[in-house]
Amino acid sequence: MKFKKEFNTLKYIIEKSDKILLFAHSRPDSDTIGSNLALYYYLKEIGKDVEVACFDQMPEYIKIFIYHDLQHPDKINLEGFDSVIALDSVERGFEKIRDRFSENQVIVLIDHHPDVKSEGDLNIVDASYSSVSEIVFDFFEFHNLKINSKIATLLLMGILGDTGNLQHSNTTPKVMHTVAKLLNRGASVAKISKMIFSSNRFSTLKLWGRALEKAKINPENKMISTVITKKDLEECQATYEDIAEIASILNTVPDTNFSLVLSERDGGIIKGSLRSEKYKGMDVSEVAHKFGGGGHKLASGFEIKGKIVEDKEGWKIV
């Protein structure tokens, strides 16, 4: 197992801390919530004073599964914590509060995103992990910590979320073993499948409809792409959260190499989300880098200045 030394250090840090802050990434997903809450319940169990902080609240589809009040970082006393553990959030929200901690507060970073440049006092960062929930599971297993069914369910939720229900190429044999172990510890598949299959809001489906209708395939590079304007979001009463899945859906079309979803954001920014599948043999992070972005081989993103203009012929970026 990787991170033996780090897992020992983390356990030591936890033992020495009375008050611990956990941190989830902005617009939280099931991995950041699953890993944060799994650790939260463990730390509570051993008598620690713990809070989970995040700049945003939990999305509806997770709320129907488990509810937890996430603390806005501006509304809690950050100086009061002995240590802080940022899970899945290193450069996705945590950088905004990082400088507000002092020298004698211990900072732990646990992440699986590539291109993570920040460093804490302890870094457990590895892009070969499917999810932070998988890393947290390894920590529990390494120290033989009790994984009850609640913790098992949360970690499984995180792993399923980040592997697209074990469909993405990050579903390694080790992930499958971890899933089996979590099921053995009582993770509730019924609960999770209910969450997965009842998670689509009406607004999400309407937005998907728009995006799929506008999709086009470039025969040269076999890119399948579409656009979402602010008007689309307003008319469907959808949010940015509803955009996430579209790039993956587009990828299911045979004979395409990768997908691109361009969506209008505030301040004249267009966000590009790139996705591909391992069998397609494409590295979308190369495309993202060309536009000053970054990410994984199979999931990347970038931001450009511009506007999406639509007319009878279709759409273009100006």
Which one of the spans 13-21, 131-139, 233-241, 246-254 is the region binding Mn ion (CB under 5 A)? 131-139
Which one of the spans 26-34, 44-52, 235-243, 264-272 is the region binding Mn ion (CB under 5 A)? 26-34
Which of 6, 51, 88, 134 contacts Mn ion by CB under 5 A?
88
Please identify, using beta-carbon distances, which residue of 36 and 83 lies nearer to Mn ion: 36
Burial class (CB in 10 A: 0-12, 13-18, 19+), 111: buried
Least CB distance to Mn ion at residue 128 (A): 13
Which one of the spans 155-163, 169-177, 198-206, 268-276 is the region binding Mn ion (CB under 5 A)? 155-163
Binding mask 41-80 for Mn ion (x = CB under 5 A): ----------------------------------------
Distance CA 29, CA 162 (A): 9
Which of 10, 22, 28, 31 contacts Mn ion by CB under 5 A?
31
Distance CA 2, CA 141 (A): 12
Please identify, using beta-carbon distances, which residue of 162 and 245 lies nearer to Mn ion: 162
Least CB distance to Mn ion at residue 24 (A): 10
Please identify, using beta-carbon distances, which residue of 87 and 233 lies nearer to Mn ion: 87
Which one of the spans 30-38, 166-174, 262-270, 288-296 is the region binding Mn ion (CB under 5 A)? 30-38
Q: Is 134 in the site for Mn ion (CB under 5 A)?
A: no
Which of 134, 138, 162, 277 contacts Mn ion by CB under 5 A?
162
Task: Output 258-261 pairs: Cβ under 8 A, ≥24 positions apart.
Answer: 258/222, 258/223, 258/224, 258/282, 258/284, 258/287, 259/223, 259/224, 259/225, 260/223, 260/224, 260/225, 260/226, 260/287, 261/211, 261/225, 261/226, 261/227, 261/228
* Three-state DSSP string of 64-112: CCCCCCCECHHHCCHHHCCEEEEECCCCCCHHHCHHHCCCCCEEEEEEC
Residue 58 DSSP label: P
The residues of the shown chain that bind Mn ion, judged by CB under 5 A, are: 31, 88, 131, 162
